[in-house]
Structure 1
Amino acid sequence: MKDAIAFRRARKQDVDAIVKMLADDVLGKERERYTNPLPESYLQAFQAIDADLNNELVLACRESEVIGVMQITFTPYLTHQGSWRATIEGVRTSSSVRGQGAGTQMIEWAVERAKERGCSLVQLTTDKQRKDALRFYEKLGFIPTHEGMKMKL
């Protein structure tokens, strides 16, 4: 990575760039709708995330360019002695920076943010079809201890 990456909370005017990144991969092309104008559902979701103190939509930026996005959700649990955990979701980097270390910096930043919030555990999910992502997260210290399940409604 040539230049330093700065992290900040996403703003409403960033939603277009975020959706563009979410749609810019094999799986994202199938489930996202990057159109002009964006579907209102994206702006509604952003507003709900932004209003929730336990959700952070975080951007990775190089100078003024948005090069990555991730959502971190902080959740209290009765398990693990009533501790908090952070869930990292929706991690994407711009295709222009993939393989240059931006993703590593993003996840390392998210782990530090979880520590700041007093979390005792960080978890994430990735689609089983994303073999490179699975290897990437394992390289960063994540262990596939659980089998995740989802149900589309």
Structure 2
Amino acid sequence: MPGEPNPNTIPTHSEVAELRARVAELEARIQVLERKEQVLHATLNSADDGILAVGECGQVIFANRRFEKMWHIPPDLMEAADDNELLSFVLDQLEQPDDFIAKVRELYKSFRTSTDTLRFRDGRIFVRTSQPLVVNDALCGRVWTFRDETPADAIKHGAHA
């Protein structure tokens, strides 16, 4: 058939040179993208807030180190990258776990932005903000941020993350 490559045809020098140039161009683009990703991760990891991005199927897309520290999440649980496992782990830490999980489930189906306060059994207080993760006008998950608002006197008593 015309237009299909013939495996018995030997490419010309110019075709090989063109392919090498294209490969070099693609490798350079990959390096630029990898660098941008490194800078983005470093930026998110330098934030004072805990940040968690979850995809539409419940897979953890990203969590910064502050999020892990604030919620006392063990490394093996973070590596599993399963939002349902994370939710199960954190519920025991909260004063009102049923309200927490109800709000999570409600927001996963919504384009709404939400801010509320979470109170922990150990005295910590976090402000939780959730925004829809939208790509090309489609809801594809949520971004959750957590700000530690625990009063200074509670920090003295060991309640701070």
TM-score range, shorter chain: under 0.3
TM, length-normalised to structure 1: 0.25
TM, length-normalised to structure 2: 0.24
Between Structure 1 and Structure 2, whose CA radius of gyration is higher? 2
Would you tell me which structure has more helix in proportion to its own residues? 2
